[in-house]
Structure 1
């Protein structure tokens, strides 16, 4: 099993490529949660993710023959960039298989770091199958995204940095996909102080670890569905699962809606842009998915900032909707002059800002003398939404809430 000494040995190799990222106290989220909350900004890492640490440590330990043959890996995006950069820096050829629906920004970034990208399959696991085929066909060394002790050790250097910057840390909250990150961090922190609590977090749509721990063996989901694409794996690794069972204190899950709210809050209140997987630890804290004491020193590890801009738009709108800041409604108007103005008058009286109006007369589901209207509205919170809907219904409008 991965040892504390393995993480210590990785530190010098990793420091040649990876940055020591900031650990900052958050007034906003400390006030919101009651905890003494510090954010580990690993999203400011080179390539925008922690993955470069593990990739650097693994590739640095290749034999001369392995360097000559090159490496291959599979990744949803962040590991791909880490492998591409680490390999290019020491002159090793890299080939990376990514899911066909991988974010365009991550595909472009991987190529820009010098990696050859092959798009294959609907998710990470399908991409990994193709990568192993290439490994056999071309004699390359497979650099696993998480189930490798040297990769895990490289990721564990984050734990060493957290302890170095904040020795009083009591709880560290870490996202889980395949388990490499939390295995390394837990090993590092427990090696420093056994009393430090490590809490793992998965997205509900990719939550294999909690069930695996309950059953005592690894289980594999048939599919995954989450906005946190960086942790969208069907199962945890064999080696990482053993470390998680040994060293992780608790594993919880968060919904996509909760992830969206956390991501939006980080962007608005801390001016910090994370990807879905990066926001997962903060979501677990703000949604109180595990117990923590008032003033407990808690560190959510924000471990990735590579979000596709199309996804970002959707997530922001989802987060605003969940917090009552955005509302989409549908109603039916009598099709006569002034009907739309009457509706807008009600909205104006309730101090609602209108983003967009779609006016449809040809919908077969409404009467011929009526028109269907959909409106995108800016609102000020859940109470404002409730008051607005009541005002519209009192004015005689039948309203369907779409978002």
Structure 2
């Protein structure tokens, strides 16, 4: 996909629009889990999620290849769309973004505030993606995929920051949506010659990637009903699955209840907001904390974009929390 020099050049390009995000070891979190835990704070980007890195690099590369581009269209549950809306606005491009019906109101508002035309269509991401493809064909727009080498290289800059800032990590837990985040992490680890174990985390209610990883082939599910919308994939891409199958130690499932518990723990121990997908990595570590005692572990807090009422309700559910 890319070499180390190309990744460092990508970081230089990304840093023209945003600063590196911190990776912090929180003492209370370590005390609760029995291991040193570094949190990679991708909730601190200009869009509140890691996807912005890939969007900036993708649009820059697209304009270099196709300077007469008419406009963009893509599908998203929110963070991918926000990244492209920001990049398109900075490059003077029009963009239409298709989201599923009932998508996060606050994510929709953020995309519209960046100048995007937001279209609600379909029951889930995969149906929204089909609508975006039709719009591209009918109106001569460039269809931005959910998975592309430039998107991976862009988001991989977070992995470069993490691995160069924190030495000798034993394990990194990372959420899986369509796969760009974990694939960038795997590629960066390999380029740096590290032996760090990478564990992908999916929702047990949207476990197509876990099933595919276990069976060694693409397995699609009929539904992906999870409040962690960044994990709501039911049709894995063969390209991302191939990288994950080769480079991940395992892919584990966490329930919505376990994700909610991780969101509360993140708030209590770091005072940071994590959306559902953003807390999935921590939920994975909680599930496997017996395996990680005394080790050096990182979790990717991939985003913080969650509607206020939903987040308030999750924080108020203390009586339903498992003990951590």
Q: With the length of structure 2 as denominator, give the TM-score of the two structures.
A: 0.94
Q: Quick one: structure 1 residues 33 and 268, their matched pair in 2 at CA, closer, same or farther if it must change by over 3 Å? A: closer
Structure 2: any 5+ residue segments left out of the alignment?
A: none
More contact order relative to length (CA 8 Å, sep ≥ 6): 2
Q: Answer yes or no: is the 8 Å Cα contact 2:136–2:142 preserved in 1.
A: yes
| SS of aligned partner of 2:160 | helix
Q: Where in structure 2 are the equivalents of 1:153-302 lying within 5 Å?
A: 153-288=153-288, 291-292=291-292, 294-302=293-301
Structure 1: any 5+ residue segments left out of the alignment?
A: 325-380, 383-403
Q: Where in structure 2 are the equivalents of 1:2-401 lying within 5 Å?
A: 4=4, 6-63=6-63, 65=66, 68-145=69-146, 147-288=147-288, 291-292=291-292, 294-318=293-317, 320-323=318-321
Which whole-Å CA distance do the structure 2 matches of 1:139 and 1:168 have between them?
48
Which whole-Å CA distance do the structure 2 matches of 1:142 and 1:290 have between them?
44
Which whole-Å CA distance do the structure 2 matches of 1:123 and 1:227 have between them?
12
| SS of aligned partner of 1:310 | helix
Offset at residue 66 of structure 1 (A): 5.2
Which whole-Å CA distance do the structure 2 matches of 1:231 and 1:199 have between them?
15
Which whole-Å CA distance do the structure 2 matches of 1:136 and 1:6 have between them?
32
Q: Answer yes or no: is the 8 Å Cα contact 1:148–1:239 preserved in 2.
A: no
Q: Which has the higher strand share?
A: 1
Q: Answer yes or no: is the 8 Å Cα contact 1:18–1:52 preserved in 2.
A: no
Which whole-Å CA distance do the structure 1 matches of 2:42 and 2:17 have between them?
14
Please provide the CA RMSD for this pair: 1.9
Rg comparison, structure with higher value: 1
Q: Answer yes or no: is the 8 Å Cα contact 1:66–1:141 preserved in 2.
A: no
Q: Answer yes or no: is the 8 Å Cα contact 1:70–1:141 preserved in 2.
A: yes
Q: Answer yes or no: is the 8 Å Cα contact 2:34–2:289 preserved in 1.
A: no
Q: Answer yes or no: is the 8 Å Cα contact 2:21–2:44 preserved in 1.
A: yes
Which whole-Å CA distance do the structure 2 matches of 1:238 and 1:216 have between them?
10
Offset at residue 286 of structure 1 (A): 1.6
Q: Answer yes or no: is the 8 Å Cα contact 1:84–1:110 preserved in 2.
A: yes
Offset at residue 17 of structure 1 (A): 1.9
Q: C-alpha deviations, 1:143-199, integer Å up to 9, x for none?
A: 122x21111111111110001211232211100011111001111122113301111
Partner of 1:355: none
